[in-house]
Amino acid sequence: MLKEARNVVGLSREEAAHRLYIGTRTLADYECHKTIAPPDVVMRMAEVYREPALPADYCAKVCPIGQVLAHSLDRPAFAVTVLRVLKEFADVERLRDKLIRIAADGELKRNEVDEFEGILKEAVELEKRIGELKFFALRQGISIKEIMPLAG
C-alpha cells in the first residue's frame, strides 16, 4: 500500500524519503512491512504522495485500533459515491422508528439485541459511505478540516 502510493506519483524511494524527512532504509522497512510506519509519517506520505485516503487505508489495514474501528474505503466515481450515501440514508431512515422503540425505555433488552445489531450494521454502512464522500472531496482538493469535529 505505501510503496504503491509512492509509485503512483513516480517518486524514487530516495526522493520520497527525502521529502518525508526519513531515511531511505526506514522507508524501505515501512514499505516491506518490517516495521510499522508511525501515524505522523503516514500523514506526511498522504501529502507527499497526494493520496488523502492513505491514512484511512493504513488505519484499516495496519493499525490495531483501526482494524476494529476504521473502514477500508472504495474509490468509486462521484455519482456512485453520492448514490451509495443516499441509499444508506434511506436504509437508516427506514429503521428510525425501530431504533426509537428499542431506545425509548433507556435499555437494550435481550430480545432487542438482534434487531439493534441490524440497525447498527446499517449505521456503519452509512458511516463508510460518508467516508467515501469525504475522501472524494479531499481528492478534489477540498479541505474538510473546518467541518470535522475536533478530537478531545
Task: Dump pLDDT digits (tens) for 28-85.
Answer: 999 998 999 999 999 999 999 988 888 888 887 887 777 776 666 667 788 888 899 9
* pLDDT (0 to 100) of residue 136: 83
Both 44 and 104 in one domain: the answer is no
| Helical H segments across the chain, by residue range | 2-8, 13-20, 24-31, 39-48, 54-61, 64-69, 78-94, 96-103, 113-139
Both 54 and 113 in one domain: the answer is no
Both 86 and 139 in one domain: the answer is yes
Per DSSP, the three-state class of 8 is helix
Is the residue at 152 inside a domain? no
- pTM, entire model: 0.61
Instruction: Give the domain-ending residue among 69, 93, 113.
Output: 69
Residue 95 structural domain: 78-147
Is the residue at 45 inside a domain? yes
Domain of residue 63, CATH code: 1.10.260
Both 62 and 85 in one domain: the answer is no
* pLDDT (0 to 100) of residue 74: 67
From residue 88, alpha-carbon distances to 60, 80, 129 in Å are 21, 12, 8
Mean of pLDDT over the chain = 88
Say which residue, 43 or 150, is predicted with more confidence: 43
Is the residue at 127 inside a domain? yes
Count structural domains, the chain.
2
